[in-house]
Amino acid sequence: MTTVPVFLGERSYDVRIEAGLMERAGEALAPFASSRPFLVVTDTHVATAQWPRLAAALERAGLSAELVTLPAGESTKSWQHLEALTDRMIAHGIERRDHVIALGGGVIGDLVGFAASIVKRGCNFVQIPTTLLSQVDSSVGGKTAINSRAGKNLLGAFHQPSLVLIDPDTLDTLGPREVRAGYAEVVKYGLIDDAEFFAWCEANGTALMAGDPEARAHAIARSVAAKATIVAEDERETSGRRALLNLGHTFGHALEAETGFSDRLLHGEGVAAGMALAFGYSVRRGECPPEDAERVVAHLRAVGLPASLADAGVSASGARLVEHMLHDKKMSSGTLPFLLARGIGKTYLAKDVDLADVAAYLDGA
């Protein structure tokens, strides 16, 4: 087992990573048990693919649980489902020391974490992420949220889990598209500040997505360690360090908004195209070597991820995409910071970006 600690003082917790860990989840969860059964929240897909494994593990440990199953998909991150879940938690008798279990991908983790942050002014939760994207990104760091009509993740809270259990074997039940979408977040860590890891991705990305267990374990552990370090330095994104984790997201969220936050463009696919656009725009500004941007595009396309507006199936004007960006939660005093790059592994936060210039760039992208 690989254990990555997230150091946050009294809110510190461990991320445990091991193939087959789901079968031993009962042992890990036993210290968090109370007089009530665990409330396990999942979606319709994961209920079939992973809940039987977790249920058996809990039973072996002498623990009981009740299952709450929500619809799969981004639309579940809504007021409607937040209200239904919090009502269920209250009816269950959840107390502030109790733990709710989020079993699923980023949607379930975000929703359950937000619900846990507000019920009884804050109860506890455990993340058991089952997608590559949630394992390497959203399950670690305590960002929880739902979407609003205006945009993605605009309603939420920072609320850290008590434990994260990652079993790479859960990826065996995912389709290739879901694995690819999660892989975009793996590549992100190399592009932020680890050129050596990006080179590893170029050499091993195809094997990872083909199911190579060593490649999967290495990518997950390295990604989690990178995020844990950044979160420990800047938990609430106040110093700017944690903002680096948003590489590709400002462009990507605009693409997701344009496609209706639907299966037309998965979050990771939007991030992939967004990272390519961020590197391309950095070249336009004269800050990034063109060959670095070309490497990013080439690798994303080599593994089947979108690396342009056309690849993402988006034909909207630059002005329309920038309009989506105006609802970005990072907007401050009318200015939107952008994550740009001076090269691979050299991402930085730019606060001098002219949105009209971004629109012009997107019109030609």
Q: What's the chain's average pLDDT?
A: 96
Supply the residues annotated as catalytic. Answer: 121, 143, 185, 227, 237, 242, 246, 249, 253, 267
Residues 199 and 164 both lie in one domain: no
Which of 155, 173, 191 is the C-terminal boundary of a domain? 173
What is the number of domains present in the chain? 2
Its domain, for residue 154, covers 2-173
User: Rounded CA gap, 177 and 268, in Å?
Assistant: 10
Backbone angles phi, psi at 348, to 5 degrees: -145, 165
Residues 147 and 185 both lie in one domain: no
Residues 111 and 189 both lie in one domain: no
Helix (H, G, I), strand (E, B) or coil at 188: helix
Q: What is the mean pLDDT of residues 318-323?
A: 97
CATH code: domain of residue 141? 3.40.50.1970
Residues 184 and 169 both lie in one domain: no
CATH code: domain of residue 296? 1.20.1090.10
Residues 187 and 324 both lie in one domain: yes
| The overall pTM is greater than 0.85 | yes
Residues 8 and 155 both lie in one domain: yes
CB 43 within 8 A of CB 108: yes
Residues 40 and 147 both lie in one domain: yes
Residues 157 and 188 both lie in one domain: no
Residues 208 and 354 both lie in one domain: yes
Residues 100 and 212 both lie in one domain: no
Tens digits of residue pLDDT in 81-139: 999 999 999 999 999 999 999 999 999 999 999 999 999 999 999 999 999 999 999 99
User: 251 is written with which tokens?
Assistant: 């462009």
Residues contacting residue 174 through CB under 8 Å, at least 6 positions apart: 131, 132
Helix (H, G, I), strand (E, B) or coil at 43: strand
pLDDT score of 229:
97
Tens digits of residue pLDDT in 268-283: 999 999 999 999 999 9
CB 339 within 8 A of CB 193: no
Residues 265 and 138 both lie in one domain: no
Which of 114, 147, 173 is the C-terminal boundary of a domain? 173
Residues 219 and 270 both lie in one domain: yes
Which of 148, 173, 198 is the C-terminal boundary of a domain? 173
Tens digits of residue pLDDT in 150-195: 888 999 999 999 999 999 999 999 999 999 999 999 999 999 999 9
